[in-house]
Amino acid sequence: MPSRPSRRQARPIDWAELDALAEAGPDAEVARLAAAARTLCARIAADHPGRTVELRVPPYAAVQLALDDGSTHRRGTPPNVVETDAVTLIALATGGLTWPDARAGHRVRASGAHSDLTALFPLPRNTAR
């Protein structure tokens, strides 16, 4: 009997698929939303290494990153937390939604002095793999 592929072996997400997922929104296939959230979070963390802000996309991913020379979180609950869902993260990444609109529409929860991710979105098209 063949083994099931693990989440880590999922097919990579490219921009064409991100755009399609953004169009589908909440109707997108859950496994592809999960893969997209993990891919985007990994790229954001790789492009902005640090431990100033924790970006959470429950239940799929959580990464720590930094956009400036802000304080560095060392242990426990970080003081700067951003939480959103996969559909919103994809819309932000692809440019279908702006950070201010996401905040105003309560699609993003952000707390802490360094939790403003306006400068991060939309992602440059060369960062999703």
Q: Give DSSP secondary structure letters for the chain.
A: -PPPPPGGGSPPP-HHHHHHHHHHGGGS-HHHHHHHHHHHHHHHHHHS-SSSEEEEETTTEEEEE-SSS-----SSS-SSEEEE-HHHHHHHHHTSS-HHHHHHTT-EEEESTT---GGG-SPPTTS--
53-57 vs 108-111, strand pairing mode: unpaired
Average pLDDT taken over every residue of the chain: 86
In this structure, is residue 60 part of a structural domain?
A: yes
The pLDDT of residue 120 is above 90: yes
**CATH number, residue 101:** 3.30.1050.40
Weakest-pLDDT range from 46-50, 59-63, 69-73, 105-109: 69-73
Report pLDDT for 87.
Answer: 97
In this structure, is residue 87 part of a structural domain?
A: yes
Mean pLDDT of 88-106: 97
Mean pLDDT of 76-94: 91
In this structure, is residue 35 part of a structural domain?
A: yes
Report pLDDT for 5.
Answer: 40
Report pLDDT for 13.
Answer: 82
In this structure, is residue 41 part of a structural domain?
A: yes
In this structure, is residue 21 part of a structural domain?
A: yes
Mean pLDDT of 65-81: 72
In this structure, is residue 126 part of a structural domain?
A: no
Domain count, the chain: 1
Mean pLDDT of 20-46: 93
Report pLDDT for 71.
Answer: 57
The pLDDT of residue 83 is above 50: yes
Q: Structural domain of residue 93, as residue ranges?
A: 12-120
The pLDDT of residue 1 is above 50: no
In this structure, is residue 40 part of a structural domain?
A: yes
Report pLDDT for 50.
Answer: 87
In this structure, is residue 106 part of a structural domain?
A: yes
CB 96 within 8 A of CB 22: yes
